[in-house]
Amino acid sequence: MKNTEDLEVLLDKVLHDPLNFKQEEFESALKLGLDFDHLRTLVKKIYDLNESDLIRISSPTQGMLGKWNKKSSDKREKRYGDKVDRQTADKQYFRIYAEGDSWFQFPVFIKDIIDWLDEKDDFLIASDAYGGDWITNILYDGQYVSGLSNYAPDFFLISGGGNDIVGSYKIAMLVDEHPDYKVDKYKNPQEIKSVNLELTEEEKQTIYHGHKFFTKEFHALILVFRFQYTLLFSHLYKDENKHNHVISITQGYDYPIPDNKRRFSLTTPLQPVVNSLLDTGKWLFTPLMIKKVLNRGNQRSILFAMIYEFNEMMAQFALDFEKVYHVDSRGLARDQSDWYDELHLKSQHFKTVAKAYEHIIRNHPGGEVDKIVRSADFRG
């Protein structure tokens, strides 16, 4: 009983004072039996949701998106089966299992990361990724466990967290024009440092400014993400886990630009139609406007700071776990024209991200690959 009570105290602090949550408290929560059930409860409390509401807004199988997801998944499953059946004894193959969100499966209209990787004849990719899925669902449902068993991969690709932040206007819960939570993560911009990037003074100022709009719920959610991925990799790499040989590759998105415009270019003629169908602007721009963050510069600073914090957290897992690697796509997109909508790069830029994955997959057996690989290094 005491362990349960002590854990509840720590979980309450995650919600109400996340920036003062110490490393020793993080480790204590894990020792006290923190699990994915506890973390799902925290997500519901952060967003003021009950279980049925969470399922409704985070399901990737409903409505038009669900139909597109199914169409793409069926096509991928057939392609995977065909490639497996065509294997020959004289060729080396890389067996890959992917789980995640729309950076791994943007249905129909964009060639996403997995689409590009799947063009390689020696890559056998089984995928359970769905556009719109939340990492909270992915880990709570545990579908990846059976996926690892079914497909016996050498590499486990996982992408998740973005939809938990931006799904169903939820980013509006994470920011405020004048947030009540007064604890500053950074006392000044010079304190801001990256585990793998050389930040410019302008970037430090942007991150510092973006933090001024964060509510305690944002910092609590980042803590939840950290717990979720820590549990995932801690369980996966236990000595007794039969999948502990697998190499995991994470990713952390690029700096998005809040925007509700339907854009067109000759290379993406369907872009304005798809933008309208998916109602681009609902993920970032409109929720920020709801919270009275009307200045476009402030909006961009907020998203820049969010993606900075998420990537820094994900990159740290690559440093903490021997068999985890991270693809860092920050700074790949140069401007608005490189984005298909608020959240997704255009196909040619997803191709560049895929090259970073391919670099890790092909070079890992020889041990000649960095733990954190930047997509921008593969830009033509």
Instruction: Encode pLDDT of 234-271 as tens digits.
Output: 999 999 999 999 999 999 999 999 988 767 665 766 66
* Residue 8 forms part of a structural domain: no
Convert the pLDDT of each residue in 36-79 to its tens digit. Answer: 999 999 999 999 999 998 988 888 877 767 787 888 899 999 99
* Residue 69 forms part of a structural domain: yes
Convert the pLDDT of each residue in 275-290 to its tens digit. Answer: 656 667 689 999 999 9
**Is 346 within 8 Å of 364 (Cβ atoms)?**
no
What domain range is 216 assigned to? 35-378
pLDDT at position 279 = 60
What CATH number does residue 260 fall under?
3.40.50.1110
* Residue 272 forms part of a structural domain: yes
State pTM to two decimals: 0.95
* Residue 348 forms part of a structural domain: yes
* Residue 153 forms part of a structural domain: yes
Residue 45: CB partners within 8 Å, gap ≥ 6?
A: 15
* Residue 14 forms part of a structural domain: no
197 vs 276, residue with greater confidence: 197
Number of domains in the chain: 1
* Residue 28 forms part of a structural domain: no
pLDDT at position 58 = 86
CA dist 255 and 339 (Å) reads 10
The backbone torsions φ and ψ at residue 96, rounded to the nearest 5 degrees and listed phi first, read: -130, 135
Residues of the chain above pLDDT 70, percent: 94
**Is 163 within 8 Å of 92 (Cβ atoms)?**
no
* Residue 12 forms part of a structural domain: no
- Taking residue 206's Cβ as centre, other Cβ atoms within 10 Å add up to 23
1 pLDDT higher than 70: no
